[in-house]
Chains A and B, each alone.
With several copies, the nearest count.
Chain A
Amino acid sequence: MSGNGNGSGKLTLKDFKSDQEVRWCPGCGDYAILATVQGVMAELGIPRERIVFVSGIGCAARFPYYMQTYGMHSIHGRAPAIATGLAVTRPDLTVWVVTGDGDALSIGGNHLIHALRRNVNLKILLFNNQVYGLTKGQYSPTSPRGQRSGSTPMGSIDAPFNPLGIAVGAEATFAARSIDTDRKHLAEVLNRAAAHRGSAFVEILQNCNIYNDGAFDAVRDEAANRIYLRGGEPVRFGADGERGIRIRSDGSAEIVDVGEVGEESLLVHNEHHAEPSLAFALSRLQLHTVGVTPVGVFRDVEQPVYDDLMAGQIDQMRADKGDGDLSALLQGSDTWEIR
């Protein structure tokens, strides 16, 4: 364990590999994500000992074992809560949460939305493979309706969550999406998340080649079905940008043919809009509805950070009352003496 985590000396991807043998199924999308994350960590230039990965339970949640940083593989669904306690008491650390679609949106849904609402300084990576991998393939809250799985032999009957819709609806100050195999873009998005103060939510479309193979082929394989969102730019996509996004007068988003409607009527993406309505409208463009998927940063706004506000109140009270004095505290206000 080389001590060069002290910040001196540039770290490389290799420095973030732990000594643990990686144990995902051959071909699992998690491998690609792991490599990208390790690369991004090296770029960030944050000493390893100041980085912590907290996860719940699931295949995705094995992630921390493979990172040469501090880490906790906790219990199912609770990582955002555990990470919150760590982040607010240790502002000097960079805390990442790695979770799956079941871990984050099934059992852990409440902790996720509360962490986002509070805007705790956490980077939350949701590996969405639309299935429960670790427990061998039951459908998940993000599985499209009708998905056949061990627990739904006739197809699932519930409408799936839209992870970005949930996040934006829960006041997320940063919400983005990328793809396991789109290494360059994923790295870009992760860097943006790292740069954001407050909670950053990143959905990563991840292929589970064992229990839900090909769920995202349409975007993983066809670049033409990816809509790269870029702040300040009109939203165009397709082989040579022949298609684009327009906002209807009722606030919903639609896919248009640029030739027909003209560039000027296209949406110019604004990540920083104070209102999340735009990010929400964009999140509604889904593979199973319009056959294409926007990726990139949907929303990135500055809001007071929970950790800072908590620290601020402590400083405030210290300023008002002076540092706590134990004996004064024990005395209280109303005493009497027995001689």
Chain B
Amino acid sequence: MAKAVEQLERVVIRFAGDSGDGMQLTGARFTSETAALGNDLSTLPDFPAEIRAPAGSLPGVSGFQIHFADHDILTPGDQPDVLVAMNPAALKTNLRDLPVGGTLIVNRDAFSEKNLQKAGYASNPLEGEALADYKVHAIQLTTMTVEALKGIEGVTPREAERSKNFFALGLMSWLYGRPIEPTLTFIQEKFSKRPELVEANTRAFNAGHAYGETSEDFVVQYEVRPAKLAPGVYRQITGNEALSLGLVAASVQSKLPLFLGAYPITPASSILEQLARYKHFGVRTFQAEDEIAAAGAALGASFGGALGVCTSAGPGVVLKAETIGLAAMVELPLLVIDVQRAGPSTGMPTKPEQADLLMIMFGRNAESPVPVLATSTPGNCFDMAIEACRIALKYRTPVYLLSDAYLANGSEPWLIPDPASLPDLSVEFATAPNSGGEFMPYLRDPETLARAWAVPGTPGLEHRIGGLEKEDVTGNVSYDPDNHDAMVRLRAQKIANIAADIPPLEVDDPDGDAKLLVLGWGGTYGPIAGGVRRIRRRGLKAAQAHLHYLNPFPRNFGEVLGAYDRVLIPEMNLGQLLKLVRAEFLVDAVGFNRVTGRPLRTADIEHAIEVLLQ
């Protein structure tokens, strides 16, 4: 007999366990079921720090958080409503995030002496009052899984034991009324080579589901209705996936072969790994000996007429500065993607931060202005990758695109775009002399100030470029004082002019009479929008704007800033956009800065706004 069903608008679940417990898989499957059901959702994996720690240890804990709802949502959630902890270490490291009254589901079997000690528990928290504040379900996940798998030929005890994550998935699927078919099919495909494992995991999954239905331990089942999202075909996508797809799309739309020069680095490596699988798009991925070579090779490819791109993170991006300076001088397209992580130095490689902005803006010798763009959500990474390529190709300039570890690994439903709707990025190469029978490589398009671009292989246009100062028009080496001053300004002007070619900054100010503007950029979009939304729910007023273009700024930016009494700039750094805004517009904006290696929290934003409104 079915149990009572309770309606919920939104739920945040965190799966946590040992690296070996398959929590990422469990989370991903639950996410697919949830997507299939039509909820809006947002997820965030929380990997252990780079090195794999010993089983059962605190550093070895791996987590996956999903936020799903019957309305559109913006973040993976500040804190979980439900915590699934597969071992003591997972409980220890995650419990602090679970609010009082929250639901806690633990695998009682894992709470052995040994594991408790590894997690630094003097006594077993499942006994005594330690967890009195929570709704605790201590379940013998392992035992019941092994039980359910009895008698399957060819499944080792170890394998049987490892199926427990599917048991947990089955249970959670029941608890939130998720469709089970997608997962059953998934198991079929994933383990097709080993039928006995198909059998095992299917049984574990069903057992978990059945356990929910039958056990006294669970009295209600929850339902979260589908959200009203824009109609269309959706998929889940992470920021790094979206960047990869965007780069391929830019290559197709520009008809230029994509060349990626990259040196592995967390959290950017997966872009290299994914693009390496798109060779049938003519994509060339080059794992260089270091980041300098990665940038150099990409620039060499651009010189030859390819779409040259390099991807890295802070410690690698700094190494590219000299090469990017050369690209600015020879005025060739080059896209540099910085998936930001917490620093300085090696810092906390798996954690997000947005503290590379000023480095990107200014980290090259002498005056070498470069356009800077930033992504705001996993899906937005696709659009910005294309846009960054458009600017690089049209203006013959290196371009930086900033993402971060949170966008890189976080996922959300993505309305799949129609290729026909993508911009045409095709480039006109010079094919003939452009000045009285001669070819002048630094003769510029009067409108874009982009120089003529003749690729090697073009007969009659042979020429040399390089890093020494260039004579205007001819591009010959020049030490002339006035020429240098003029060229320095020309290079700056070329970048400044791009402001006319990018969309004005949109402001979300429903009644148009807010006094406070909350201004953000990059991966903080979700929490900021969430905070603003909460403020408005409370009848207070705040406008929101989010920058995707940091250099040049949108042409209406000054106006927008001028229209508000106060400007609040939340950032995962010590106030970098803040500095730029104050310097350029002399606006006394204030910052909200948290540099914890974690996404900003919606509640904190809400509070920061509230304080300013008082």
Contacts and interface: CB of A to CB of B under 8 A. Distances in A.
A303 interface: no
A134 B264 CA distance: 10
* A-B residue pairs, 4 tightest by C-beta: A73-B466, A85-B300, A85-B297, A324-B281
Interface stretch (A198-206, A214-222, A231-239, A312-320): A312-320
Name the interface size band of chain B.
35 or more
29 contacts: A6-B460, A20-B476, A21-B53, A24-B52, A26-B55, A49-B456, A49-B457, A49-B459, A64-B466, A65-B466, A71-B464, A71-B466, A72-B465, A82-B300, A84-B297, A86-B300, A90-B304, A114-B293, A134-B51, A135-B269, A152-B276, A210-B52, A321-B280, A324-B282, A326-B419, A330-B245, A331-B233, A338-B229, A338-B230
A333 B462 CA distance: 47
Nearest to B289: A114
A82 B418 CA distance: 36
B259 interface: yes
B585 interface: no
A277 interface: no
B248 A326 contact: yes
Interface centre among A21, A84, A153 (most CB of B within 10 A): A84
Contact of B416 (A82, A86, A150, A330): A330
A106 interface: yes
Given A5-B460, A335-B416, A336-B234, 14 more contacts: A1-B438, A25-B51, A49-B462, A59-B51, A65-B464, A82-B300, A84-B297, A138-B273, A151-B264, A330-B249, A332-B416, A334-B32, A334-B235, A336-B35
A197 interface: no
B289 A109 contact: yes
A2 B466 contact: no
Contacts of A111: 289, 292-293, 296
A332 B417 CA distance: 12
Contact of B467 (A74, A92, A141, A316): A74
Interface stretch (A50-58, A263-271, A283-291): A50-58
Interface in B328-363: 330, 345-346
A3 interface: yes
B346 A152 contact: no
Interface in B268-310: 269, 272-273, 276-293, 296-306, 308
B467 A329 contact: no
Contacts of A59: 51
Contacts of A21: 53-54, 57, 59
Contacts of B279: 154, 313-314, 316-318
Contacts of B57: 21, 23
A150 B235 CA distance: 23
B507 interface: no
B257 interface: yes
Interface string A66-104: 011111111111100111111111101100000000000
A113 to B, nearest CB: 8
Contacts of B418: 327
Contact of B269 (A89, A136, A154, A335): A136
Interface centre among B259, B287, B306, B419 (most CB of A within 10 A): B287
A246 interface: no
A215 to B, nearest CB: 18
Interface string B149-161: 0000000000000
A337 B287 contact: no
B269 A75 contact: no
B236 interface: yes
A87 B304 CA distance: 8
Nearest to A24: B51
A326 B35 contact: no
A153 B277 CA distance: 7
Given A85-B259, A89-B257, A330-B417, A73 B289 contact: no
A84 B276 CA distance: 18
Contact of A23 (B51, B261, B262, B323): B51
Contacts of A331: 233, 235, 416
A85 B308 contact: yes
A18 interface: yes
B315 interface: yes
A110 interface: yes
A337 B266 contact: no
B100 interface: no
B296 A82 contact: yes
Contact of A84 (B51, B286, B465): B286
Contacts of A70: 456-457, 462-464
A135 B263 CA distance: 10
Interface centre among B272, B315, B464 (most CB of A within 10 A): B464
B613 interface: no
A261 interface: no
B419 A318 contact: no
A270 B441 CA distance: 47
A322 interface: yes
Given A75-B326, A138-B264, A337-B232, A93 B456 contact: yes
Given A72-B464, A330-B419, A86 B303 contact: yes
B38 interface: yes
A52 B263 CA distance: 26
A127 interface: no
A85 B464 contact: no
Interface in B429-485: 433, 437-439, 456-468, 476-477
Contacts of B236: 334
A123 to B, nearest CB: 15
A92 B458 CA distance: 12
A274 interface: no
A339 B59 CA distance: 44
A84 B289 CA distance: 12
Contacts of B299: 82, 85
Interface string A1-31: 1110110000000000010110111100000
A195 interface: no
A111 B297 CA distance: 11
A223 interface: no
A69 B460 CA distance: 9
A250 B232 CA distance: 71
Contacts of B38: 336, 338
Interface in B1-43: 32, 35-36, 38
Given A70-B463, A330-B417, A90 B457 contact: yes
Contacts of A6: 459-460
A18 B252 CA distance: 37
Nearest to B189: A333
A34 to B, nearest CB: 14
B231 interface: yes
A132 interface: yes
A138 B285 CA distance: 13
A139 interface: yes
A159 interface: no
Given A110-B289, A135-B265, A135-B269, A314 B284 contact: yes
Contacts of A244: none
A294 interface: no
Contacts of B283: 314
Contacts of B437: 1
B280 A26 contact: no
B343 to A, nearest CB: 11
A2 B35 CA distance: 58
A106 B290 contact: yes
Nearest to A48: B462
A5 B462 contact: yes
B48 to A, nearest CB: 9
B346 A57 contact: yes
B264 A2 contact: no
B78 interface: no
